[in-house]
């Protein structure tokens, strides 16, 4: 295990320099990208740092001192952006820049096609390249200035080895004939919608929401939607606007006035007076008039005769994923199996590499053209009945 010499990183804290950096980086065939951000005290993520590397250059861009939207021409260019665990970065960049890279390779996703299960960057770099990255401090305040030398070193290490790591993983996948699968998955991630939560669906994320009665669910839906909209409007975390405990208590009691509101568990003084109290009571009144049925599970509308197949095939999927060295969640989730058995046209298992590896055989199973059997050694095997 080696600890390489720190790669020199240039600090960029003015917009003119950022423009120059983007113009140069845009000429490169690929660039490595990462972000640091916070969202503990806000509804929207606060971009605190952008790490960018290309060719032999590595820069740390201060979004607090520059117009970070100057990155957009780079994102719209032909270069391949290499990131690790990119989903949150895409969310942050969408909010900060209004754009994401036009081409994307995510080393965490790519590694999943070699059997890794959502590996950290340090784990992959250590295992694939034999390099020990600086230890992260998860409590680092990336918004504080100036950043320390250790903070800059850690931030730079997040992009310093991405090209070598991607090249190693891509070469392995090329030998297995899976590189196109991985890149297709990266594209699916790139175009996946990101951004604020749908207010009308916010209630579905509440714990124990299924235990509420119909009218209480209606109140929970209405108050949760109000909370989400207020959080977005004030850029405040939703639970800071109104805790989940208070929201569920309000849903159960459906208060008519401030006195009843005040008696709900988790409701404090600020929620039970003035404009805030009135907004909550208005949301309660709307929800009381619109009872809501319990949310459906993925397989609620699946033919009952096919439901046992989901459990059986799920076990086979886990085994097949191990044998094929593919992260199980990449191969097929329970929702993917339900969508295929339900006949959804957009089911992921009905198209592309998933259909080739698994989906077509699942169709044969439910059609009675194939069967699963134990092989006597603790594993399932597919038997052709044709």
Question: Do strands 57-61 and 10-12 pair parallel, antiparallel, or not at all (unpaired)?
Answer: parallel
**295 within domain boundaries:** no
**297 within domain boundaries:** no
pLDDT in the model for residue 177 = 95
> Does 5 score more than 60 pLDDT?
no
Local confidence band at 1 (pLDDT 50, 70, 90 cut-offs): low
Selected residue with higher pLDDT from 303 and 236 = 236
Task: Tell me: do 33 and 108 sit in the same domain.
Answer: yes
**293 within domain boundaries:** no
**59 within domain boundaries:** yes
pLDDT in the model for residue 7 = 67
Task: Tell me: do 169 and 205 sit in the same domain.
Answer: no
pLDDT in the model for residue 278 = 97
> How far is residue 99's CA from residue 95's CA, in Å, rounded to a whole number?
8
pLDDT digits (tens, 9 = 90+) for 71-98: 999 999 999 999 999 999 999 999 999 9
> Residue 252 sits in a domain of what CATH number?
1.10.150.80
Domain containing 180 equals 10-191
Pick the last residue of a domain from 191, 219, 250. 191
Go through the chain and tell me how many residues it has: 386
Domain count, the chain: 3
> How far is residue 286's CA from residue 57's CA, in Å, rounded to a whole number?
57
Going from the C-alpha of 18 to that of each of 23, 60, 147, 199, the distances in angstroms are 9, 10, 18, 36
Pick the last residue of a domain from 191, 226, 245. 191
Nearest to 106 by CA among 129, 88, 127, 132: 88
> How far is residue 375's CA from residue 316's CA, in Å, rounded to a whole number?
12
> Does 252 score more than 90 pLDDT?
yes
Task: Tell me: do 222 and 173 sit in the same domain.
Answer: no
Local confidence band at 267 (pLDDT 50, 70, 90 cut-offs): very high
Which tokens sit at 77? Answer: 């260019």
Is residue 114 within 8 Å of 170, Cβ to Cβ?
no
> How far is residue 246's CA from residue 305's CA, in Å, rounded to a whole number?
41
Local confidence band at 188 (pLDDT 50, 70, 90 cut-offs): very high
pLDDT digits (tens, 9 = 90+) for 46-63: 999 999 999 999 999 999
Local confidence band at 309 (pLDDT 50, 70, 90 cut-offs): confident
Contacts of 240 (CB under 8 A, 6+ apart): 41, 231
> Residue 141 sits in a domain of what CATH number?
3.30.420.10
pLDDT in the model for residue 300 = 63
Question: Do strands 80-83 and 30-38 pair parallel, antiparallel, or not at all (unpaired)?
Answer: parallel
Around 289, how many Cα atoms within 13 Å sit in the side-chain half-sphere?
6
For residues 180-199, give the mean pLDDT. Answer: 92
> Does 137 score more than 90 pLDDT?
no
pLDDT in the model for residue 168 = 98
pLDDT in the model for residue 386 = 67
For residues 103-109, give the mean pLDDT. Answer: 98
Task: Tell me: do 35 and 125 sit in the same domain.
Answer: yes
Task: Tell me: do 270 and 360 sit in the same domain.
Answer: no
Give all strands of the β-sheet with 80-83 in edge-to-edge order.
Answer: 10-12, 57-61, 46-54, 30-38, 80-83, 104-106
**84 within domain boundaries:** yes
Task: Tell me: do 40 and 138 sit in the same domain.
Answer: yes
Q: What is the mean pLDDT of the chain?
A: 93
> How far is residue 283's CA from residue 159's CA, in Å, rounded to a whole number?
46
Task: Tell me: do 181 and 46 sit in the same domain.
Answer: yes
**251 within domain boundaries:** yes
Task: Tell me: do 50 and 168 sit in the same domain.
Answer: yes
Task: Tell me: do 283 and 329 sit in the same domain.
Answer: no
- Percent of the chain at pLDDT > 90 equals 79
Contacts of 53 (CB under 8 A, 6+ apart): 31, 32, 33, 59, 159, 160, 162, 163
Contacts of 76 (CB under 8 A, 6+ apart): 99, 102
Task: Tell me: do 58 and 134 sit in the same domain.
Answer: yes
> Does 6 score more than 70 pLDDT?
no
**299 within domain boundaries:** no
pLDDT in the model for residue 68 = 98
> Does 221 score more than 90 pLDDT?
yes
Task: Tell me: do 115 and 231 sit in the same domain.
Answer: no
Pick the last residue of a domain from 288, 319, 352. 288
**294 within domain boundaries:** no
> Does 382 score more than 90 pLDDT?
no
For residues 110-114, give the mean pLDDT. Answer: 97
pLDDT in the model for residue 51 = 98
HEC per residue, the chain = CECCCCCCCEEECCHHHHHHHHHHHCCCCEEEEEEEEECCCCCCCEEEEEEEEECCEEEEECCCCCCHHHHHHHHHCCCEEEECCCHHHHHHHHHHHCCCCCCEEEHHHHHHCCCCCCCCHHHHHHHHHCECCCCCCCCCCCCCCCCCHHHHHHHHHHHHCHHHHHHHHHHHHHHHCCHHHHHHHHHHHHHCCCCCCCHHHHHHHCCCHHHCCHHHHHHHHHHHHHHHHHHHHHCCCHHHHCCHHHHHHHHHHCCCCHHHHHCCCCCCHHHHCHHHHHHHHHHHHHHHCCCCCCCCCCCCCCCHHHHHHHHHHHHHHHHHHHHHCCCHHHHCCHHHHHHHHHCCCCCHHHCHHHHHHHHHHHHHHHCCCEEEEECCCCCEEEEECC
Task: Tell me: do 116 and 27 sit in the same domain.
Answer: yes
For residues 38-46, give the mean pLDDT. Answer: 93
- Percent of the chain at pLDDT > 70 equals 97
pLDDT digits (tens, 9 = 90+) for 326-365: 999 999 999 999 999 999 999 999 999 999 999 999 999 8
């Amino acid at each position: 295990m080696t600890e390489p010499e720190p790669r020199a990183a240039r600090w960029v804290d003015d917009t003119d320099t950022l423009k120059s950096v983007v113009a140069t980086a845009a000429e490169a065939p690929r660039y490595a990208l990462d972000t640091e951000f916070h969202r503990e005290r806000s509804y929207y993520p606060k971009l605190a740092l952008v790490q960018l590397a290309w060719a032999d250059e590595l820069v740390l861009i201060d979004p607090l001192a520059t117009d970070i939207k100057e990155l957009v021409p780079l994102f719209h260019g032909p270069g391949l952006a290499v990131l690790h665990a990119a989903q949150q970065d895409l969310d942050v960049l969408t909010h900060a820049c209004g754009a994401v890279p036009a081409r994307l390779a995510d080393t965490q996703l790519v590694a999943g096609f070699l059997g890794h299960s959502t590996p950290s960057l340090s784990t992959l770099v250590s295992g694939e390249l034999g390099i020990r990255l600086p230890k992260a401090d998860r409590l680092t305040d990336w918004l504080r200035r100036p950043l320390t030398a250790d903070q800059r070193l850690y931030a730079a290490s997040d992009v310093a080895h991405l090209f070598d790591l991607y090249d190693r993983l891509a070469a392995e996948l090329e030998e297995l004939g899976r590189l196109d699968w991985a890149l297709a998955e990266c594209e699916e991630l790139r175009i996946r919608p990101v951004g604020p939560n749908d207010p009308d669906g916010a209630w579905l994320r509440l714990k124990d929401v299924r235990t509420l009665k119909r009218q209480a669910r209606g109140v929970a839906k209405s108050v949760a939607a109000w909370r989400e909209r207020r959080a977005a409007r004030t850029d405040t975390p939703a639970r800071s606007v109104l805790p989940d405990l208070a929201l569920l208590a309000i849903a159960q009691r459906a208060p008519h006035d401030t006195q009843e509101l005040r008696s709900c568990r988790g409701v404090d003084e600020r929620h039970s007076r003035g404009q805030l109290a009135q907004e909550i009571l208005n949301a309660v009144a709307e929800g009381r008039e619109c009872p809501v049925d319990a949310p459906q599970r993925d397989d609620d509308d699946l033919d009952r005769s096919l439901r046992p197949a989901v459990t059986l095939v799920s076990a086979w999927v886990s085994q097949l994923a191990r044998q094929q060295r593919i992260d199980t969640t990449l191969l097929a989730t329970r929702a993917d199996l339900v969508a295929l058995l339900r006949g959804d046209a957009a089911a992921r298992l009905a198209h592309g590499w998933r259909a080739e590896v698994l989906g077509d055989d699942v169709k044969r199973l439910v059609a009675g053209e194939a069967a699963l059997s134990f092989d006597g050694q603790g594993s399932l095997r597919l038997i052709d009945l044709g």
